[in-house]
Structure 1
Amino acid sequence: MSWLPAVRRRRRRQDPPAAGRLPPPRRRRRHVSAPGGGGAGHAGRARDPGPGGAGRRRCLAGQRRGRAGAAGAVSGAADPRRPSAGERRPAGRRARLSLPRSGVPARRPRRLSGARPGGRGAGGRAAPPRQRAGPGPAGAGAGLLAGSRPAGPGRAAGSARRPGRGRHGRPAAADGAAGQGRARPVTHLVCTGGGTAGHVIPAIPVMQRALDEGMRVSFVGSRSGLEERLLADLAVPYYGIASGKLRRYLSRENLVDVFRVLAGVWQAWRLLGRLRPDVVFSKGGFVSFPVVFAAWLRRVPVVAHESDLSPGLANRLALPFIRTLCVTFAETRAPRFRGRRLVTGTPLRPALLRGSRERGRALIGVAPGRPVLLVTGGSLGADAINRAVRDALPALLEDFEVVHVCGAGKRAELSPAGYHQFEYVADDWGDLLAAADLVISRAGANTLFELLALGKPALLIPLSPRVSRGDQVENAELAAARGYARVLSEDDLDPAALVAALRVLRGDADAVRERLAAFRPGDAVSAIVEALGAAAGR
């Protein structure tokens, strides 16, 4: 007999109340079954069994107010439920009166224009069916999505949100590259990296592109001064933090450097809280780990770039906190990395690609038709290569004009004809590379990628695994396997072996150039900047 209370309540609603008294307050019910799309006096929510809308819930409170106000205006009769002058409302639960106040129009119901089929709008008028998105002729409401918000004051029907803004007033995101995330404009970019020039120079073209696009750019590096000197020509603020070198061997300094790294994390955390960047770009190096970890704590997305075939120690430690990893080679291994991985190549400076062979030969004053041999040991120089080249100078000068970039503080007191020494070359490096016919070099990833992009046959002498993690050996083996270069082990390096390997390379130079002509470096700067926007928009 559980249906009896419902029957009694229904009869009470249908019978008119006695004159001079108010009906007893009704209990609020969440759902009431109403035939035909709802009648007067319904409370709470009702089901709408109209055509195409059976079983759907519809809020009818606002529509009741509109119908009651319209009915009272037409008939002019007073509602029997409205208390007369001088009467007081009964105590207890507030009576649910939906009549509008005198002289005040009824409040407009919410979602009135989006009423379901079978429902009614204000004044008892049938509401139009909801428009659905899809192909078809353009018309009123044709662009609205199913379940979208109705047009309000100051907003045309079928119009989208204000361009450039999303929910809660935040900037709206746009689709990213190849559907990978939703890119949005980056307003503030923080870059980090350091320890060697190879962890700073590739970030310079990325920062320059960001500045050209109107972004605010900041750089976080170590307090040694190396990174700040390399960025002297770039108009970006520099912030130095404490950093400890990540060594792979036992040393007392490892214990001290643990506290330096922790101090760097704290300083980077406070700095990022003050700068509030949209995204962080890391080029690796021991100074980058505190910044990457602090960015993860601050929920700032991180995009990192790895130049070698296997990530360095700093990038390996930072992999769990990186959202997107950009790599130079498709063969790059990043075990246990679960984020987005992109093959972008290494960012190259525009000045490097605009190098002039004529300007380079004029810089060293070489005679026409004489081949040029360029020797470089990286940004810090290479003592083993410097010794072997200087000892082999008499044989080398017979065939080449030798340009030797030996490293800061490693210049020798030698000045034979045809031998040109430089401690470091910055602005004219592109011209010297363009003028070189053959190159002797270490196998660092950045230098190797520059040689491949410019099509220079090279003799690679990788750093020995005894004093490194073996990344240069992997890079050199990859270049040799593709026929882009020849490799001479540092353990076999001596003046005679150097001259013999160089003569073999010279005889095979034309075939190497043909294979290098098929190498396509791509636009790494644009790919990385696009990845920054996609990471910031997620």
Structure 2
Amino acid sequence: MSWKVLIMAGGTGGHIYPAMAVAETMVKKGMIVHWLGAMRGMEAELVAKTEFPLHLLPVTAYQGGGLKRKLIAPVNLLRSVYAAMRILDQVKPDMVVGFGGYASAPGAIAAKIKRIPVLIHEQNGTPGMTNAYLSRWVEKVIQAFPHTFPEKVNPITLGNPVREELVSVKKMLECENLQRVLVLGGSSGAQSLNIIMPEVFSQINQQQRPEIYHQTGQGKLEETLSSYQKYGVEANVVEYIGNMATAYDWAELVISRSGASTVSELAVVGRPSILIPYPWHKDQQQYFNARVLTDSHGAVVCEQDEQLSQNLLHYIKQFMGNPKMLVNMATALERVAIWDSAERIVRLIEKFLAGRRQG
């Protein structure tokens, strides 16, 4: 008999892509996977292109908005829970696994009512509102990074699933001179990096300046390219990098935001970084994510403030003057890298379900 699992993930790629990696590993092991998402989330498009049967709930955000949204939020949640219960009756999963997104709360509550075990996975260094609530009563809590949840919920640290091809990126065993810098703003682009990096690189002598590979994010290519040209800086500027393994393999230093997936990827590929956490998230998630790498001495952090340009230039010049630091940082990342996160998560699910069947 094959195990049947309902995965709940959506809203952003940060929830969806790790869930997809786990789902694909489940299928390889002979498990049957269904997907629960929200009608307005990215999953409605992304998951529809995969082999996984997709079930969508008529659900929106439960927080924020005006007084009217706050008043009708409990009603919308009850409707979504009822809709999720009907889907559970149809799918009959052995377990429900939540990765975050609007569908996770009603799906998990419905599973609890139906006495179906629930596992949650938190990708960030501090839990989102939904997972913080669910962690109090679900059967298993998985965290990507240590110390995300309080010990009383017995969290298990298993990392964030990353793309398989990243595991093959060569280790950075030497660096005689800092010659190649990769700038990443995230899939949607960090406009502050697009604005500031051309100016920062222009302050480095042209003969000493490293090669630059800059991903701008959607819709920011022309503006960023023009800025590099304005400052007289040569750079390979692209809107989107399709093969991140090749990009990481090329790079000796990465300058980036500190989203959960990026932080996990940097650890796996062993690339030192300068991280600029997104400052306006109410839970300060990217600061906690960055701390995983800075605590291991595999990254440095620059705050997004009036001194950002000056601090970025300071670190780049410091690494140029002492490239051995980059090798030491790359080596330090091995202590926090988890290469087989998806495999570990699936093994935990198999062990739990096997124990439940025997019990």
TM class, shorter-length: 0.7 to 0.9
Match of 1:286 among 102, 106, 116: 102
Q: Which residue of 1 aligns with 2:267?
A: 452
Q: Which residue of 2 aligns with 1:212?
A: 28
What amino acid is the match of 1:352? L
Q: Which residue of 2 aligns with 1:303?
A: 119
Mapped to 2, the partners of 1:293 and 1:331 lie a distance apart of 25
Q: Which residue of 2 aligns with 1:524?
A: 341
Note the 1:189-338 alignment, pairs <5 A: 189-231=5-47, 234-247=50-63, 252-334=68-150, 337=153
Structure 1 residues 239-297: Cα deviation after superposition (integer angstroms, max 9, x where no partner): 22122224368765444444433332222111111011111111123331111111111
Q: 1:450: how far off?
A: 0.9
Q: Secondary structure at the match of 1:331?
A: coil
The answer to which of 482-491 and 283-292 deviates more is: 283-292
Contact preservation (8 Å) 1:246, 1:314: no
Contact preservation (8 Å) 1:295, 1:302: yes
What amino acid is the match of 2:19? A
1:435 is the counterpart of 2:250: yes
Mapped to 2, the partners of 1:243 and 1:397 lie a distance apart of 53
1:280/1:480 CA distance change after superposition, 3 Å: same
1:402/1:256 CA distance change after superposition, 3 Å: farther
Contact preservation (8 Å) 1:192, 1:284: yes
Mapped to 2, the partners of 1:425 and 1:246 lie a distance apart of 34
1:250/1:385 CA distance change after superposition, 3 Å: farther
Mapped to 2, the partners of 1:253 and 1:312 lie a distance apart of 20
Q: 1:518: how far off?
A: 4.3
Q: Secondary structure at the match of 1:320?
A: coil
1:411 is the counterpart of 2:221: yes
1:401 is the counterpart of 2:211: yes
Note the 1:345-364 alignment, pairs <5 A: 345-355=159-169
Q: Which residue of 1 aligns with 2:188?
A: 380
Match of 1:511 among 298, 311, 328: 328
1:500/1:453 CA distance change after superposition, 3 Å: same
Mapped to 2, the partners of 1:534 and 1:411 lie a distance apart of 47
TM-score normalised by the chain length of structure 1: 0.58
Q: 1:336: how far off?
A: 5.2
Q: 1:396: how far off?
A: 6.3
Mapped to 1, the partners of 2:202 and 2:318 lie a distance apart of 18
Contact preservation (8 Å) 2:145, 2:292: no
Mapped to 2, the partners of 1:478 and 1:232 lie a distance apart of 34
1:254/1:456 CA distance change after superposition, 3 Å: farther
Match of 1:473 among 279, 284, 287: 287
Contact preservation (8 Å) 1:186, 1:278: no
From the CA coordinates, give the structure whose radius of gyration is larger.
Answer: 1
Q: Which residue of 2 aligns with 1:55?
A: none
Q: 1:408: how far off?
A: 2.5
Q: Which residue of 1 aligns with 2:174?
A: none
Q: Secondary structure at the match of 2:187?
A: coil
Q: Which residue of 2 aligns with 1:35?
A: none
What amino acid is the match of 1:531? L
What amino acid is the match of 1:296? K
Structure ranking higher on relative contact order (CA contacts 8 Å, 6+ apart): 2
Q: 1:497: how far off?
A: 2.9
Q: Which residue of 2 aligns with 1:123?
A: none
Q: 1:201: how far off?
A: 0.9
1:492/1:195 CA distance change after superposition, 3 Å: farther
Q: Which residue of 1 aligns with 2:296?
A: 482
Q: 1:512: how far off?
A: 1.2
What amino acid is the match of 1:526? E
Q: 1:335: how far off?
A: 6.3
Q: Secondary structure at the match of 2:136?
A: helix
Gaps of 5+ in 2: 172-176
Structure 1 residues 151-200: Cα deviation after superposition (integer angstroms, max 9, x where no partner): xxxxxxxxxxxxxxxxxxxxxxxxxxxxxxxxxx6521111112211111
Q: 1:346: how far off?
A: 1.4
Mapped to 2, the partners of 1:334 and 1:513 lie a distance apart of 29
Structure 1 residues 68-119: Cα deviation after superposition (integer angstroms, max 9, x where no partner): xxxxxxxxxxxxxxxxxxxxxxxxxxxxxxxxxxxxxxxxxxxxxxxxxxxx
1:342/1:222 CA distance change after superposition, 3 Å: same
Q: Which residue of 2 aligns with 1:392?
A: 200
Q: Which residue of 2 aligns with 1:166?
A: none
What amino acid is the match of 1:446? S
Q: Secondary structure at the match of 1:433?
A: helix
Mapped to 2, the partners of 1:237 and 1:371 lie a distance apart of 46
Q: 1:411: how far off?
A: 2.9
1:187/1:411 CA distance change after superposition, 3 Å: same
Structure 1 residues 351-410: Cα deviation after superposition (integer angstroms, max 9, x where no partner): 2223579xxxxxxxxxxx983221222233222222222443534694222222222233
Mapped to 2, the partners of 1:212 and 1:397 lie a distance apart of 52
Q: 1:424: how far off?
A: 3.4
Q: 1:490: how far off?
A: 1.2
Mapped to 2, the partners of 1:396 and 1:204 lie a distance apart of 42
Contact preservation (8 Å) 1:442, 1:461: yes
Structure 1 residues 408-451: Cα deviation after superposition (integer angstroms, max 9, x where no partner): 2333332547423333334x122212211111111222211110
How many positions carry a matched residue from both structures? 339
What amino acid is the match of 1:271? I
What amino acid is the match of 1:482? S
Contact preservation (8 Å) 1:220, 1:239: yes
The answer to which of 500-509 and 304-313 deviates more is: 500-509
Q: Secondary structure at the match of 1:202?
A: helix
Mapped to 2, the partners of 1:218 and 1:396 lie a distance apart of 52
Q: 1:528: how far off?
A: 0.8
1:493/1:237 CA distance change after superposition, 3 Å: farther
